[in-house]
Amino acid sequence: MGTHLDGDLLTEMRGGRPHPRLGVVIPRSGLVIADDTELSASVADADLVVLGVNSQGIEWALEVLGRTLRQPVPLLLLTKGLFADGERLAILPDYVRRELSRSRHGDIPVMAIGGPSIARELAEYRDTSIVLAGTDADLCRSTADRIRGDHYHIQTSADTVGVEVAAAFKNLYAIAVGLCEGSSEIRAERNHGALGFNPAASVFAQAIREIAYLAELLGGTAASVYGLAGVGDLYVTSRRGRNNRAGKLMASGTSWAELRRSTMRDDTIEGAELAIAIAPTIMHLIECGRIDHARIPLLQVVIDVVVHGKPPAIPWSRFLEY
């Protein structure tokens, strides 16, 4: 199912042509546009709704679902992000649950998925392992049984906070790895071809430490960060993907504002969008002592580069403080 912005793309695929970016033919049964009429018909008798819009479209999606859902239906959230209001951070499932309850749908159970899920590999049925998290263990298990496949392997978890914090922040920290790799590639051109695997590995490890700190700060567990939702997903996002590419381009001297006007104007870079969305809240939480700034030096680098347009400077010595 696509949104009202996907009309041309869906028209192509309804004609039997492959997805323009994935190069894979999508089954026509799933090709509907999420306007009120088609969405109402699609979810009228649904017993599970899967929401996968990007973080910028979440408000629109909740507004439409608030109008079209006829009863409380479990929601499986693929969208990654955090809610920040200037004073606090919250995971997206809590925000979604609260907003839909305002539409008089009662307490809708919201589950979330984290883990390595490169779209092209999923479309080609490559083996993928993910974690499905939610507070209702029986619902998580039954949902996992419904969507599990020969190539789609699922763990379940009750740690929704840890999984969601890892899933959201991995995009932001993939930019940090890209910043390091981009700087190393520039130096490699004049230093006998020596690549930057050592520094990138250090940044990767620091990223996991910072995500674990933030997960525990918000009420989750570090264990989820050390699993598929954190280490697993950060690995694939750092190796391939738009966030990593954005980091490399910014390391070469292109600002985030310039990227949005040129090279990556049509791309969704959720790590950068998250940095912009949470920067004021992060600063507030540091100032009031609820976040220890010494524990998140890499996060501050990404915010400085993306939000404030500063050149990337990896604070290696600060990695050793904890």
Sheet with strand 128-133: strands edge to edge = 49-51, 75-77, 110-114, 128-133, 152-157
Please name the residue that has the structure tokens 């695929």.
13
Beta strands in 158-266 (DSSP E): none
User: Could you tell me if 170 and 270 lie in one domain?
Assistant: yes
Q: Is 32 left (phi over 0), alpha (psi -120 to 50) or beta?
A: beta
**Residues 176, 178, 181, 182: what is their CA dihedral angle, to the nearest 10 degrees?**
-110
User: Could you tell me if 153 and 165 lie in one domain?
Assistant: no
- Boundaries of domain holding 203: 161-321
User: Could you tell me if 167 and 155 lie in one domain?
Assistant: no
User: Could you tell me if 127 and 139 lie in one domain?
Assistant: yes
User: Could you tell me if 170 and 297 lie in one domain?
Assistant: yes
User: Could you tell me if 147 and 187 lie in one domain?
Assistant: no
Whether the predicted pLDDT of 230 surpasses 60: yes
- The structure's pTM equals 0.87
CATH code of 28's domain: 3.40.50.720
Write out pLDDT tens, residues 95-126: 999 888 876 666 889 999 999 998 888 888 89
User: Could you tell me if 172 and 146 lie in one domain?
Assistant: no
Decide if 79 contacts 198 (C-beta within 8 A). Answer: no
Domain boundary (135, 159, 183) is at: 159
Backbone angles phi, psi at 10, to 5 degrees: -70, -35
Looking at per-residue pLDDT, the higher value among 285 and 36 belongs to: 285
User: Could you tell me if 199 and 106 lie in one domain?
Assistant: no
Separation CA 305–CA 114 (nearest Å): 26
Tokens describing residue 261: 């006007």
Write out pLDDT tens, residues 140-160: 999 999 999 999 999 999 999
Decide if 206 contacts 319 (C-beta within 8 A). Answer: yes
70: three-class secondary structure by DSSP: coil
Q: Which amino acid is at 293?
A: H
Tally of domains within the chain: 2
When pLDDT is cut at 50, 70 and 90, the band that residue 215 belongs to is very high
CATH code of 263's domain: 1.10.1040.10
When pLDDT is cut at 50, 70 and 90, the band that residue 58 belongs to is confident
Tokens describing residue 16: 């039997």
**Predicted local distance difference test score (pLDDT) of residue 31:** 45
End-to-end CA distance of the chain: 45
Separation CA 275–CA 179 (nearest Å): 14
Separation CA 226–CA 48 (nearest Å): 29
User: Could you tell me if 214 and 94 lie in one domain?
Assistant: no
User: Could you tell me if 142 and 199 lie in one domain?
Assistant: no
Domain boundary (136, 159, 182) is at: 159
CA 264 to chain centre: 18
- The greatest distance separating any two alpha carbons of the chain, rounded to the nearest whole angstrom, comes to 65
User: Could you tell me if 91 and 54 lie in one domain?
Assistant: yes
**Predicted local distance difference test score (pLDDT) of residue 298:** 97
Domain boundary (105, 124, 159) is at: 159
When pLDDT is cut at 50, 70 and 90, the band that residue 187 belongs to is low
